[in-house]
Each structure stands twice: as structure tokens, then as C-alpha cells.
Amino acid sequence: MDNSHVALVSMMLKSESFSPFRCDRNIALGINLTSLTKVLRAAQNEDILTLKAEDSPDVVNLVFEDPKTDRFSEYDIKLMDIDQEHLGIPDTEYAATVSLPSAEFQRICRDLNQLSESVAIECTKEGVKFNCSGDIGSGSVSLRPHTNVDDETQNVEINLSEPVALTFSLKYLVNFCKASGLSKQVRLCLSNEVPLLVEYGLANNSYLRFYLAPKIGDEE
């Protein structure tokens, strides 16, 4: 969860994405993301990455192997003792599910962020509408479902069980869109009174999910 308890991030990398994958027991590793980023920068794009941790770990071991040059880098990152309660996010049934290209979503969020700091997302049978109003004026982007025969990832798909209208903070949505590089499509799940789910699907059923709590309607 973030500092102000407004957003949640959940990332799942399924065991099928790894080869080999061996995990004898469930363990929780507390890793400082800043340290992890620093170490990962040392890797090159084509490297093979291996993660290892002992039974009662106080370091996690990362090995980068470059198959072509036979270069072997090994890093140990100290672990943190994160004594946090694990937040279980129940899989709820969402009233509306929208799939759209992630670049499109990123564009919409960036454009509307210029106008105002919050966006109202409305999902109806006709399509999904993002509108915002700010000091200089107001703006809105409407997307209708369409299928692109040539490129499946440009599809916009809407599944609706009841109309949904919620307001969210654009500051966080823009941050979520930074994951657009991971997947061509992004899935937005909305339901009234329930946090928004922004999901980037990864290979082998893995995912990166962001949850964002809706804003309360009584704004000035």
C-alpha cells in the first residue's frame, strides 16, 4: 500500500514463467525496491536471471548470466524484516470490465491530467467515458467497443452488468500507466463503491495489478 493508503499494488509471477522453478516452502522476502532497482540495472537485456534464497534468509541472491559472453554476475541483496500483515485482496465480481490498449489508456490519463487532478469514469452500454473538469475548462474522452481485425491488441472490449460511475485521482493513474511497457493490453475493472482494478496481464497467467480507491463525491 502507498503512504496515504489510497493505492495497492499486487504482482504475481506464476511458476510456469520460470524454468527451473523450485520452492520447498512458502517464505516471505522483504526486499527494498530501491535496492532491487539498483541491482537490476547491472543486468543486460539478454541476461538470464536466477533468484535464490535460503531457508531462513537474510539475503536474496541474484545471478545474471550472459549466454553469449559467458559472463557471470552474482549479487546479494539484504532483506528487510517487513512485519506487515499480508493484505488479502478478495477476487470480487466487477460490474464493468473494459479492455483497451495500454498505450491508449496512458495517452488518455496523460491528456486529462493536464486539465484536472481527478477523472470521472462512466461505463454505460454505449461505451466508457473519461471526463474531467478543471480551472481552464473541461474535457472528455469516449471509447466505444471495437475490434481491430489486423491487430488484436488494439481491441477495445466492454463487458457490463450495470452502469458504473466513479471518480479517481489522476496522479495515481498516471503512475499506474508506467507499467504500459509490460503488456499491450490493459484491463480496467470497475464496480460501484469498490476500488478500481487496473490489470496488466503478463505471460503465463502472471499479472501486475493496481487497485485505486475511488474519491468521495462531495468535492467542492
Binding part of the chain for another protein, among 40-48, 103-111, 155-163, 188-196 by CB under 8 A, reads: 188-196
* Close Cβ partners of 71 (under 8 Å, ≥ 6 residues apart): 64, 65
- Closer CB to another protein, 20 or 88, in the complex: 88
Grid cell listed for 25: 516452502
Name which of 62 and 119 has its Cβ closer to another protein. Answer: 119
- Choose, by CB under 8 A, the member of 24, 90, 93, 178 that binds another protein: 90
Buried b (16+ CB within 10 A) or exposed e, 12-46: eeeeeeeeeeeeeeeeeeeeeeeeeeebeeebeee
Site for another protein in 3-62 (CB under 8 A): 3-8
CB burial of residue 139 (10 Å; 0-12, 13-18, 19+): middle
State the minimum distance, in angstroms, from the CB of residue 194 to another protein. 7
| Position 82 contacts another protein (CB under 8 A) | yes
What is the binding site for another protein (CB under 8 A)?
A: 1, 3-8, 82-85, 87-90, 92, 169, 193-195, 211-216, 218-219
